[in-house]
């Protein structure tokens, strides 16, 4: 047979094997064994092995071996399973530098006299003579441009490798490369599916998986006109206090432990357990949705959560608030089931926590009001309908305005002025904090431009940043863009960040904050003393001010604990080279004590309430 016919016969055999449905369905080691066996039989070589590079790339390790003599003696199964031969043997670069260099640089390594070829002679001492190898044909396996392995053909007699044989060895290596690529794709897809459908901390299903399951079961109930569902929405009480006191890792440990406890619970009708938020879980119950059964289920859940959890050397007592909603009794749409259970959970929290409440008409009215307010808040943000009031921050004289803080306000068309805590809580729970922050910044820029057009140079304006904002990489660019649109320099701004906001990914956080400072802005830590922040983070981030939370100021100078805390914060700020601002200064006694203790700047009703921009201009800058 001439070379052309041989070439065609080799590749026809490879194509028939690689396109065979049985081959495609086989696990990896069976595929490699089949390829090695085909290569050995067609090219009439005694041994064919497949090797791979581990991540260290300091060696190659045998993954599969075809040995003609072992197949003859024991049958193909032993070779396919890797029970004999070189399986798990490794060859190290340090022992065979010539071979490793050659296999890295050459597309194919054809060695007619392996014992005397400088590329392979290092194998003489413990391998080639003992096995009886004379000739070798090695083809590198590539994953993209990266060398990932080797296909090695070994003959026990001297031979000259022909062009069809060289081509076929490369084709075997390329086939293995395709297998590797497909497996990497499958692995990535599985990993992506896991990330998109499961919670990484607990391994439980996530909110998207829960929604899909509820939609599927609700449709089945509608179609069959029988069956029932109950959704139990579980919120761990006071997890924020654990995060503040012991750090976010402690909070994660609590969540992980509760997840495992809920997973281990054997509950009648339990269909799906999901982690649906930072401190929230949900359990979907099928069929066993009668009131008595669910009351017993809720009590067993509470009992499991109440068992002490040991974290950071402390024994913590945990409770949970739960809301229960039924389908089709309370609602007919899947989304209504989730909203109803969540609304019932919030009602349980308002009643004092550590209890379960069942969705009813009263809760429905409250939930509808909350959802309506959320819709209206979205509209107000998108329409720039929120207001910004300003409160001066003064020096120790109480007369010179050093900066002004911008505070968001909402004059609802029907409800009037709403307390900030009410709509900020809705914004936070609805994922609106980032867009709300941009809305406030746009208003601040407009007001600054108005003052600038009148020839008035306002002091630095402090703007609050939420945790959602400071962990967004494009925040600095967005701030620069908004400021540039209104011809306002970024240096005219100071950004206030709460302690809780600096507990996220440090690299992202530091990058965002340092970019803002590089653009000219100043930074302050807001509400200091109420959250959890490590000194390592404080000294590593570019803050210039610390704002003492008003809760420590209100009882000065009569409360010894508040005095001690405030003094320690002032001392800490001094040690870090930061200025100190006291919030909530309302009396002359507050002012006098704070000035005596060295507080740099003061803010509170004793000097001015937050006021609209026009009033601020009239009182401070137009006189």
Residues sharing a CB contact under 8 Å with residue 85, sequence separation 6 or more, in sequence order: 47, 49, 62, 65, 67, 70, 79
In a domain, 370, yes or no: no
pLDDT digits (tens, 9 = 90+) for 137-177: 999 998 877 889 999 999 998 889 999 999 999 999 989 98
Quote the pLDDT of residue 152: 95
Q: Are 60 and 51 in contact (CB under 8 A)?
A: yes
Which secondary-structure segment (H or E) carries 173?
helix 163-197
364: in domain:
no
**How far is 166 from 327, CA to CA, in rounded Å?**
68
CATH of the domain at 599: 3.20.20.450
Cα–Cα distance, 278 to 190 (Å, whole number): 24
For the domain that residue 148 is a member of, what is the CATH number? 3.30.450.40
Residue after which a domain boundary falls, among 193, 228, 251: 193
Q: Are residues 428 and 453 in the same domain?
A: yes
Torsion of CA 355, 359, 364, 366, to 10 degrees: 0
Report the CATH number at residue 265.
3.30.70.270
Look at residue 372 and tell me if it is in a domain. Answer: no
Question: Of the residues 170, 193, 216, which one is the last residue of a structural domain?
Answer: 193
Q: What is the mean pLDDT of residues 610-622?
A: 90
Per-residue pLDDT, 192: 65
Whether residue 336 is found in the same domain as residue 445: no
268 and 324 share one domain: yes
Q: Are residues 563 and 426 in the same domain?
A: yes
Which residue range is the domain that position 40 belongs to?
A: 3-193
Residues 431 and 556 in one domain: yes
Beta bridge partners of 59: 92
Residue 84: DSSP 8-state: S
Residue 216 sits in the same domain as residue 257: yes
Question: Could you tell me if residue 368 is inside a domain?
Answer: no
Mean pLDDT of the chain: 86
DSSP letters spanning 511-562: HHHHHHHHTT-EEEEEEETSS---HHHHHHS---EEEE-GGGTTTTTT-HHH
Question: Which is nearest to 496 in space by CA: 527, 463, 470?
Answer: 463
Are 354 and 386 within one domain? Answer: no
Q: In this structure, are 456 and 311 located in the same domain?
A: no
Cα distance from N-terminal residue to C-terminal residue, the chain: 106
- Evaluate the CA torsion angle 62, 67, 73, 75 in order and state its sign: positive
Higher per-residue confidence, 500 vs 540:
540
How far apart (Å, rounded) are the C-alpha atoms in residues 257 and 263?
10
Query: Residue 551 contacts by C-beta under 8 Å, 6 or more apart in sequence?
Result: 529, 530, 584
Domain count, the chain: 3
50/36 Cα distance (integer angstroms): 8
Helix and strand element counts for the chain (H, E): 23, 23
Residue 199 lies in a domain: no
Q: Tell me whether residue 488 is exposed, middle or buried, using C-beta atoms within 10 angstroms of its C-beta: 0 to 12, 13 to 18, 19 or more.
A: buried
Residue 351 within any structural domain of the chain: yes
Residue 432 has pLDDT above 90, yes or no: no
pLDDT bracket for residue 611 (50, 70, 90): very high
Of the listed ranges 154-168, 491-505, 568-582, the least confidently predicted one is: 491-505
Q: Which pLDDT score is estimated for 378?
A: 92
Last residue of a domain, one of 303, 325, 359: 359
**Confidence class for position 194, pLDDT limits 50, 70, 90:** low
Predicted TM-score (pTM) of this structure? 0.52
Is 312 in the same domain as 425?
no
- The whole-angstrom separation of Cα 355 and Cα 68 is 72
Indicate whether 186 and 244 sit together in one domain: no
CA nearest 258: which of 301, 197, 313? 301
Q: Burial code of 176-199, b = ≥16 C-beta within 10 A, e = fewer?
A: bbebbeeeeeeeeeeeeeeeeebb
Asked if the structure places residue 198 within a domain, the reply is no
Tens-place pLDDT, residues 229-262: 999 999 998 787 676 567 778 888 899 999 999 9
The two three-digit tokens of residue 542, written as one number: 């570019």
| pLDDT at residue number 84 | 36
Partners of 315 in the β-ladder: 310
182 and 227 belong to one structural domain: no
Q: By C-alpha distance, which of 314, 273, 269, 274 is closest to 293? A: 269
Q: Provide the 8-state DSSP code for 205.
A: B
Whole-number Å distance between alpha carbons of 151 and 52: 9
Bridge partner residues of 281 (DSSP)? 234, 275
Is residue 491 in some structural domain? yes
On whether both 78 and 211 belong to a single domain, the answer is: no
How would residue 505 be classed by pLDDT, with cut points 50, 70 and 90? low
566 dihedral zone (left: phi>0; alpha: psi -120 to 50; beta): alpha
Q: Enumerate the β-bridge partners of residue 412.
A: 416
Predicted pLDDT at 314: 77
pLDDT of 74 over the 60 cut? no
Segment holding 304, helix H or strand E: helix 291-306
């Amino acid at each position: 047979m001439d070379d052309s016919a041989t070439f065609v016969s080799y590749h026809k055999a490879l194509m028939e094997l690689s396109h065979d449905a049985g081959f495609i369905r086989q696990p990896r080691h069976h595929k490699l064994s089949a390829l090695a066996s085909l290569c050995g039989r067609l090219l009439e070589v005694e041994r064919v092995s497949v090797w791979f590079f581990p991540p260290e790339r300091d060696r190659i390790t045998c993954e599969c071996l075809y040995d003609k003599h072992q197949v003859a003696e024991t049958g193909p199964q032993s070779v396919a399973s890797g029970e004999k031969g070189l399986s798990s043997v490794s060859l190290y670069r340090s022992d065979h530098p010539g071979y490793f260099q050659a296999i890295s640089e050459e597309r194919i390594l054809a060695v007619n006299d392996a014992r005397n070829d400088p590329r392979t002679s290092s194998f003489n001492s413990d391998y080639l003579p003992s096995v009886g190898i004379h000739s070798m044909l090695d083809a590198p396996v590539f994953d993209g441009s990266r060398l990932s392995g080797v296909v090695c053909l070994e003959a026990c007699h001297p031979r000259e490798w022909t062009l069809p044989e060289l081509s076929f060895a490369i084709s075997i290596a390329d086939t293995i490369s395709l297998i590797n690529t497909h497996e990497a794709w499958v692995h990535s897809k599985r990993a992506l599916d896991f990330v998109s459908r499961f919670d990484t901390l607990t391994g439980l299903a996530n909110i998207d998986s829960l929604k899909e399951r509820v939609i599927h079961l609700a449709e089945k109930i509608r179609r069959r006109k029988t069956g029932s569902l109950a959704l139990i929405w579980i919120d761990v009480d006071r997890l924020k206090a654990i995060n503040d006191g012991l750090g976010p890792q402690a909070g994660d440990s609590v969540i992980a432990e509760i997840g495992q406890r809920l997973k281990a619970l054997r509950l009648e009708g339990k269909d799906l357990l999901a982690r649906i938020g930072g401190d929230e879980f949900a359990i979907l119950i099928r069929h066993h949705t009668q009131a008595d059964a669910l009351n017993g289920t809720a009590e067993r859940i509470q009992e499991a959560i109440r068992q002490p959890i040991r974290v950071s050397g402390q024994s913590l007592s945990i409770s949970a608030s739960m809301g229960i909603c039924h389908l089709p009794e309370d609602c007919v749409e899947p989304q209504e089931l989730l909203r109803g259970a969540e609304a019932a959970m919030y009602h349980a929290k308002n009643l004092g926590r550590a209890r379960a409440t069942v969705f009813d008409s009263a809760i429905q009215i409250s939930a509808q009001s909350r959802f309506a307010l959320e819709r209206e808040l979205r509209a107000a943000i998108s329409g720039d309908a929120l207001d910004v009031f300003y409160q001066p921050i003064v020096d120790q004289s109480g007369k010179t305005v050093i900066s002004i803080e911008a505070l968001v306000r909402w004059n609802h068309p029907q409800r009037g002025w709403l307390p900030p805590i009410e709509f900020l809580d809705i914004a936070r729970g609805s994922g609106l904090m980032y867009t709300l922050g941009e809305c406030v910044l746009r208003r601040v820029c407009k007001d600054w431009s108005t003052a600038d057009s009148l020839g008035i140079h306002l002091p630095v304006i402090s703007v609050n940043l939420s945790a959602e904002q400071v962990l967004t990489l494009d925040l600095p660019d967005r701030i620069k863009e908004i400021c540039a649109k209104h011809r306002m320099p970024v240096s005219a701004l100071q950004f206030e960040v709460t302690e809780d906001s600096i507990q996220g990914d440090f690299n992202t956080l530091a990058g965002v904050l340092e970019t803002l400072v590089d653009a000219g802005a100043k930074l302050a830590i807001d509400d200091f003393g109420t959250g959890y922040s490590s000194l390592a983070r404080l000294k590593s981030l570019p803050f210039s001010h610390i704002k003492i939370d008003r809760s420590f100021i209100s009882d000065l100078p009569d409360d010894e604990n508040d005095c001690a805390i405030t003094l320690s914060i002032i001392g800490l700020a001094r040690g870090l080279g930061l200025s100190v601002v006291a919030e909530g200064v309302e009396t002359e006694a507050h002012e006098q004590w704070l000035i005596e203790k060295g507080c740099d700047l003061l803010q509170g009703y004793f000097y001015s309430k937050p006021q609209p921009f026009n009033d601020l201009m009239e009182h401070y800058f137009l006189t």
